[in-house]
Chains A and B, each alone.
Chain A
Amino acid sequence: MQLSYFLQLLLNGTVAGLGYALIAIGWTILLGMARLVNFAHGTMYMLAAFVTWYLMRMQGFEYLPAILVSCLVLAVLCIVMQHMMARQIQTQDLTSIMIITLGISYILTGAAGLFFGGTPQNIASPLRALRLTVGDVRLTGLDLTIILVTLIIYAAVWLVLRRSRIGAAMRALAEDGKLAQLYGINPALLLGGIFAFEGASVALAAGLIAPRAPILTTMGFQEVILTFVIVVIGGIGSVPGALVAGLAIGIFISFFSALVSSAFALSAVFATLLVFLVARPSGFGKGI
């Protein structure tokens, strides 16, 4: 293989992988901190992509404001979800929560279909037009943005969790929600923050990643799988683990698609996960 080809695949994989990591960060935090599984995550990604598209195409928004509004919409949606499931969250009824989020996912799929229609659309990000060349390797402004934004967000989340009061509060909440109240922690508010972060981060990810391909209201399932695989391999609740896992998976898919088959890339990833589960069910990274 030529070096330039290899490097291009590596770069594409890095960009894609960091993108997956960005999609996964909200879910990692939700699972690691609140021990909750949100099956609507992938559908939320789809919804955010369509909200961004709709605002740009139908309402004449610019790219960045559209993404910001979409982040707001999704954050609000997630907080609504949190309040709907308040009782189930309090009693840690994970089975119900899984089914409820599955149901919400289906509602959102149907609603998106009704509102946005069934035709594939494209988000026209102006960053894509920006072409850069580093040696023999090409990337767009969007690729660069994905790299930077993901690294920044991960660094910020890491710092907040490790160094700030909110981070300590979240870890306390994760360990013992009842006891946390005796330390002045407001579980509902903190949980709301975690849910809102999930919504906002997945919307940001959608705004940056969805422009790379056509979007459909039936999409979102692949994102759930990738997210899940990242979180499991990276270690549940581990922020650096998710970043590394995302990167690894992105690069794997890039090479696998180019050299073997792109149609079965996801299946290959999943097969890797299964092997992983048998060998090391608790992932690589340590929980926070």
Chain B
Amino acid sequence: MTAPVAALLSVRGLVKRFPGVTALQGVDFEVRAGEVHCLLGQNGAGKSTLIKVLSGAHRPDEGEIYWRGELVSFGNPTAAMRSGVAAIYQELDLVAGLSVADNVFLGHELSTMGFSQRAEARRRTRALLDLLGHPEISPDRDVGQLSVAHQQVVSMARALSLDGQLLIMDEPSAVLDPDEVRVLFGVIRELTARGVAVVYISHRLAEIREIGDRVTVLKDGRTVATGLSAREVKTSELIALMTGRVLDNVFPDRKPVAPDAPEVLVVRGLGDGDRFRDVDFTVRSGEVVGLAGLVGSGRSEILETVYGARKAADGTVEVNGRALRRGSVGAAVRAGMGLCPEERKSQGLLLDQAVYRNITVSSLSSFARFGFLDDRAERARSGRLTEALDVRPAGVDRVVRGLSGGNQQKVVLARWLLRECRVLLLDEPTRGVDVGARSEIYELIRELADSGVAVVVVSSDIEEVLGLADRVLVLREGRVVHDGPADEIDESQVLDLVMEGHAA
């Protein structure tokens, strides 16, 4: 850097701990007025936590935030907004049912002596929307009826309504189509020309090159590089920074899948009419197939559709040669399928119930005679499974909520082990699981495959997909763009495929 430019925002040594995890462990970077500063990092690198700390939603445990040269501490998002820092989250925080103007001034309504100044709010909203290049949005429209792109514009107007100087945008393009992204970039350029700084988060390297000025890379909660030129830095360098690992997970050895192993799961032409289409793949007995792709690439949706939790619009799913009824979880489970869902707590577990009840919930009829449950047999079978999987602390009467993420995942796995399922679908099997338990779960999955189960793994951790799977399918925007053996492709090739759609 030649001439030092005064930083608008400067962050030093930021640390944020949550029970059991340190999400940020030393983040440094600075943002200048009028620049687009890109934050890059893999899932779990700490980007979302960083945004929440900067926008006042979380308080940091250590470290300093300087705003216009002064040490600050934002107690809550409104305080941050009043100082001029506003975040636009992936999940837009707008209230459907209220008008555009009401949303823009939500939390800092214009009023005199308690009476709201609706005309003034409308006038200022219109001015902001004009500024953002969207005069066609009426301040009186119900926000719930706007397109996602327009809702984003309203969110930006809201951020600017308090004289925002720094906008933090968390993957704004993830929900937009290419035309809308172009419009968004136009707005961003307009803002930066006026001296507003933007912190832009995206997985898409092409976008970062187009809109960004400088790049900061986060990995495992730390800044690994900052102030890189967005246009000049090499793709390979960015990928190396994002992926270079301190802690390597040990993946179990693969056994070659017998070429004559039966095709247990056959998916043909699957589509949901929306997020993905024409998905074909087969999984043999003993084979682990990994699905890699970005958030929004349709990977979880595909898994849920195969399982019948979402209704397919096209295509067929066959298990052992028999087609399953569309949109029926019951049919899938009866055919020998099991799913460990992405959101373990909200989709997988009965959190306030005992371990054994969570394990037997899918096999109740096998413990029942004329509908009456054999409690003792349930506990005994669950006990043997939890022992075999080394669920700690032991005890089938424990409430699942109290277990760690890794042990909760083992409980979900035990549920399907109990059923002796033939096809196991795993969505983010190690999310929220610490490193030690991770390798145990990897080994478990491998053992299952070796015993003849057909396994499908979805993960946003590319290394995990490559290390665990025999074969990898790469998804991009709801289509399979690559299908091949896992040992013939490396992490950067996959990253290139998911981000740009063609192998480097």
A-B interaction? no
**Chain B residues in the interface with A (C-beta under 8 A):** none
**Chain A residues in the interface with B (C-beta under 8 A):** none
